[in-house]
Amino acid sequence: MPTFTLPAALEAGEPPEARGLARDAVRLMVSHYGDDRIRHATFRDLPCYLRAGDVLVINTSGTLPAALPATRADGTSLRLHLSTRLPADLWSVEVRRPDGTATAPFYAAEGGEALALPAGGRVVLHTPYNSGQRGGGNGRVRLWVATLHLPLPLVDYLQAHGQPIRYGYVARPWPLRDYQTVYVTEMGSAEMPSAGRAFTPALLTRLLAQGVQVAPLILHTGVASLEDHEPPYEEYYRVPAPTAQLVNQARVDRRRVVAVGTTAVRALETVTDAAGVVHAGHGWTDVIITPQRGVRAVDGLLTGLHEPQATHLALLTALAGARHLQLTYEAALAQRYLWHEFGDLHLMLP
């Protein structure tokens, strides 16, 4: 994985629109891992780098306003971040505490504890969620298995009382619309599948007109792991049969399959067998993509820029190789690209 230091000045703390840019006017670094070519463009130039027959795999999951104010029995003010809906109406959740303009992990919560939520709601914490892995072996529990008791259906309740999850580099709240892609079909992500944020209806129309095929799937993202660089955990996915068929036919025809975001790669790789055949499927995936495992389903990836030591970098390394990834991140730093969900984008192609 690449080694680098991310200057605070390159952390995008507001949507591009707040910086005077259109959605599709963020910067785009295009790199070819076959020969290490690197080019710099604007995202609206994307059609110049894709061609007829390419399959673009998009994650159409929408972002929930998944951060809620919560209160302990002793009156301590906290924040509850919903992460992943689990079977049997359970959730994995993260309890956080106020920390300046943002929040930080709160490790003093206890199993069996109930936290009060707005309008008479409450959450009951049951057991640590995979605590041996989540706490890094230090006994600290960050994610809990919990039950929500809400006076309204989930989406209605969150629309009334929740906010989008944000971290310290985003100093103020932004409306939920700033955390949505234009092609959302189903709400369910704790955090935005941000690689697709820069698409506009006009840009998608241009791509379709030039013969690029768009294949949708769902992966509802959980909370990020910015503090401890934890490995990915289970997330719900659904890959429909038409998407599997489009990807399989493209691979038979030796056409490129380009995933929009690491979430799309994770969903596809979950349903791809050892022979490289993609199958329709749904459920909760625990697949972790590493260079040792490799990537079977995609040739290219459109993604944001990831923090040092982020687990997503292992996936990028599996696709493009460590040397190429190091070169591209050095170029992004030299050209002062912006990181995170409101930042610039990187298209990796063969």
Give the three-state DSSP class for 1.
coil
The percentage of the chain sitting over the pLDDT mark of 70, rounded to a whole number, equals 95
Q: In this predicted structure, what is the pLDDT of residue 1?
A: 74
Q: For residue 3, tell me if it sits in a domain.
A: no
Give the per-residue pLDDT at 21: 98
| DSSP 8-state symbol, 11 | B
Q: Identify the domain boundary among 128, 161, 194.
A: 161
**Is 47 found in the same domain as 118?**
no
Q: Are residues 37 and 110 in the same domain?
A: no
Strands (E) across 221-278 are located at 235-239, 257-260
Tell me: the pLDDT tens digits for 205-258? Answer: 999 999 999 999 999 999 985 444 566 789 999 999 999 999 999 999 999 999
Rounded Cα–Cα distance for residues 337 and 26 (Å): 9
In the structure, what pLDDT confidence band is assigned to residue 128 with cuts at 50, 70 and 90? very high
The pLDDT, as a whole number, for residue 102 is 82
Tokens of 342: 């409101």
Q: Is the pLDDT of residue 67 over 90?
A: yes
In a domain, 99, yes or no: yes
Matching residue, tokens 């069996």: 112
pLDDT of residue 147: 99
Q: How many domains does the chain have?
A: 2
Q: Which of 92, 142, 149, 140 is nearest to 116 (CA)?
A: 149
**1 inside domain:** no
Which of the listed residues 141, 161, 181 is the one where a domain comes to its end?
161
Q: Is residue 267 part of a domain?
A: yes
Within-domain flag for 314: yes
Q: Give the CATH number of the domain where residue 276 resides.
A: 3.40.1780.10
Tally Cβ neighbours within 10 Å of residue 303: 22
Range of the domain at 307: 8-63+173-349
- pTM metric for this prediction: 0.94
Confidence of residue 130 (pLDDT cuts 50, 70, 90): confident
Please determine, for residue 94, whether its predicted confidence score (pLDDT) is greater than 90: yes
Q: Which two three-digit tokens encode residue 258?
A: 């380009």
Residue 234 lies in a domain: yes
95-111 pLDDT, tens digit each:
999 988 888 999 999 99
Residue 207 lies in a domain: yes
Residues 6+ apart with CB under 8 A from 88: none
Distance between CA atoms of residues 320 and 342, nearest Å: 24
pLDDT, one tens digit per residue, over 145-168 is: 999 999 999 999 999 999 999 988
The pLDDT of residue 138 is: 57
DSSP 108-150: ---TT-EEE-GGG-EEEEEEESSHHHHTTTTT---EEEEEEE-
Same-domain pairing of 98 and 123: yes
209 and 113 share one domain: no
Residues 95 and 114 in one domain: yes
Average pLDDT over residues 171-192: 97
Q: Give CA separation, 50 vs 34, 56, 223, in Å.
A: 16, 9, 31
Question: What local confidence, expressed as pLDDT, does residue 133 receive?
Answer: 43
**Residues 240 and 206 placed together within one structural domain of the fold:** yes
Q: Residue 296 gets which letter from DSSP? A: -
Nearest of 60, 82, 75 to residue 158 by alpha carbon: 82
Mean pLDDT, residues 121-148 taken together: 80
Q: Are residues 132 and 243 located together in one domain of the fold?
A: no
167 is a domain residue: no
Q: Which of 131, 161, 191 is the last residue of a domain?
A: 161
DSSP alpha helix (H) spans, 164-261? 201-209, 241-252
Say whether both 196 and 344 belong to one domain.
Answer: yes
Question: Can you give the pLDDT at residue 136?
Answer: 45
57 and 73 share a domain?
no
Looking at the fold, whether 260 and 278 belong to one and the same domain comes out as yes
Q: Do 188 and 310 belong to one domain? A: yes
- Looking at residue 231, what is its pLDDT? 65
Q: Are residues 211 and 277 in the same domain?
A: yes
Choose the weakest-confidence range: 59-73, 90-104, 292-306, 331-345.
90-104
pLDDT digits (tens, 9 = 90+) for 269-328: 999 999 999 999 999 999 999 999 999 999 999 999 998 878 889 999 999 999 999 999
Question: Residue 140's pLDDT is what?
Answer: 83
